[in-house]
Amino acid sequence: MIDVVGIGDDGWVGLDEGRRGLVRDAATVLGGRRHLDLVAEHAATGADLVAWPSPLLPALPGLLESAESTGAVVVLASGDPLRSGIGTTLVDLLGADRVRIHPALSCDVLARARQGWSAEETTVVTTVGRDLRAVLPHLAPGARVVVLCSDGSDPWRLAELLTQHGRGATEITARWHLGGPDEGAVAARADAFTGATADLVVCCLDVRACSPAAVTTAGAMPGRAEDFIEHDGQVTKRDVRASALSRLRPTPGSHLWDLGAGNGTVALEWCLGAERATATCIERDATRAERITANAAALGLAGRVTVLHGDSATRDLSALTRPDAVFVGGGLAEPILEAAWASLRPGGRLVAHAVTLGGEAALLAIHERAGGDLTRLMIERAVPLGAHLSWTPARAVVQLAVVRGEE
């Protein structure tokens, strides 16, 4: 059994007797150098104080095996070890039955306490070792967000990012060394925030938009205007896309296959629609495949969208992460639909669009066997015709939406 002890910036004085006892009795104490320094004079005589190697993950199994052979092992972590911490890594590696977590107050809890923000109304986003743009999906006006930062340069970089995305009126409060003797804070509007802070910093964002236009892409609901990403015109248009996503039903942590992804609008809105939702896109055009990756990063979805360059019809789909839903919008053919359908678990959703007679025939073949809803979507938009407005129809889209049952 490995004990993971959360420790705050106040060090030893902030530990209760239970956590102090674990440290005193440990034969090996593992942690970051800063954490080890906080407990060094209180550890048992002869105990090994071992700093994490870099890189950590490849060396971790061997390090733990060696430490466990000497006796009791304690791992030190900042605050709550399960909040973007080593506790989660250890549980994933060893299993929950071999790891005991002893949390302290995490920095986001302390930040909320200083702000007077309730847990229910606050979102916590970690950007530690990650792209700062991970905060972008959470910037709905009126939102309260606590951002865990990598270092003291992140607050002003975050302020620049907010300003670039029309959120310059957001109040940023940077708080560092929370709970410790060196605690400090500074607050300003994003468009007036300058300078670096101390490290071990979090940012509290009271999100405000500078103009109504900055609100148009906020929120989880699908159907954003086509210009929410860079594209070459090969996109599922917003009204049809909203219909598809209403049937695909993104849920937290769920995974989508977007086959024939084009510029990736369906996959990107899938990920924006639910926390931790992920997607795998297959696109045969190399430029579009690269563009999906760039668009994902620009929306704060880096790491959540995997893009594979190739043809869905020739790729071994069984080698991919099994999906909760599949969207087929390009290169529609019956073999692709059959492979996608076979990959779904019970409860999985398949949505496919056709704009040609051949594509409709492929949808009908699946519909005859699996059922579901066939819908013909016909959208007309008012556009100028001389001095007047006139309805102009878009190409009709036939949509198949079907849920796989128990078989």
Q: What are phi and psi of 83, to 5 degrees?
A: -105, 90
Contact 263, 226 (CB under 8 A): no
Distances 364 to 78, 324, 354, 400 between C-alpha atoms, Å: 56, 22, 10, 8
What is the C-alpha separation between 392 and 389, in angstroms, rounded?
9
Q: What are the start and end residues of each CATH 3.40.50.150 domain in the chain?
A: 220-403
Note the pLDDT of residue 227. Answer: 83
Of the candidate CATH numbers 3.40.1010.10, 3.20.20.20, 3.30.70.100, 3.40.50.720, the domain formed by 2-105 belongs to: 3.40.1010.10
State the pLDDT at residue 406. 64
**CATH class of the domain defined by 220-403:** alpha beta
Return the structure tokens found at 186. Answer: 């500074």
Which residue spans of the chain are classified as CATH 3.30.950.10?
A: 108-214
Range(s) for CATH 3.40.1010.10 in the chain?
2-105
pLDDT at site 213:
67
Query: What CA–CA distance (Å, rounded) separates 318 from 159?
Result: 43
Phi, psi angle pair for 371, to nearest 5°: 80, -145
Record the pTM: 0.86
pLDDT, residue 216, reads: 66
Beta bridge partners of 380: 393
The whole-number pLDDT of residue 222 equals 86
Q: What does the pLDDT read at residue 29?
A: 96
CB contact set of 112 (below 8 Å; sequence gap of 6+)? 118, 119, 122, 146, 204
Give the CATH class of 108-214. alpha beta
**pLDDT string in tens for the chain (407-residue length):** 999 999 999 999 999 999 999 999 999 999 999 999 999 999 988 899 999 998 999 999 999 999 888 899 999 999 999 998 899 999 999 999 999 999 999 999 999 999 999 999 999 999 998 899 999 999 999 999 999 999 999 999 999 999 999 999 999 999 999 999 999 999 999 999 998 999 999 999 999 988 776 666 677 788 888 888 888 888 888 999 999 999 999 999 999 999 999 899 999 999 999 999 999 999 999 999 999 999 999 999 999 999 999 888 888 888 899 999 999 987 688 888 998 999 999 999 999 999 999 999 999 999 998 999 999 999 999 999 889 999 999 889 999 999 998 65
User: What is the C-alpha radius of gyration for the chain, rounded to an integer number of angstroms?
Assistant: 26
